[in-house]
Amino acid sequence: MALISIDPLNIVATLRRDTKLFQWISLLFQMAFSAVVTFCGTVGSALIAHTSTAIAIGYGLLSVASVLAIFFGASDLTRGMMFVRPEKLAEAQLKQDVAITRR
């Protein structure tokens, strides 16, 4: 008696490997996850240091902008696309300590 098994994870893995759509979805998920973690970590740290709420949110937004710019610049999917950013942001990215973790 032969068992019929369907492995949906293999189908998803094949689609993920072979289609640009899944690569874009993966990139957008990574960017969103990193943005949320960066924003929460930066704002939380600033609030613990007794910084005003508005300034803490500003720090968080600046940190998120840097992280998203790094993602956009490092992705193979965005090669050849134009990326315009303020010069101050580019300088801040060079000075900023960013840990990139690949799994």
Which of 42-66 are b and which e, b meaning 16 or more Cβ less than 10 Å from the residue's Cβ?
A: bbeebbeeeeeeeebbebbebbbbb
| Cα torsion through 78, 79, 85, 91, rounded to 10 | 120
User: Does any domain span residue 85?
Assistant: yes
103 residues of the chain, pLDDT tens digit each: 555 556 666 766 676 666 788 888 888 999 999 999 999 999 999 999 999 999 999 999 988 988 888 888 888 888 888 877 667 666 666 666 666 666 5
Q: How many domains does the chain have?
A: 1
**Within a domain: 16:** no
Q: For tokens 């740290």, what's the residue?
A: 45
Would residue 103 count as lying in a domain? no
How high is the pLDDT of residue 64? Answer: 92
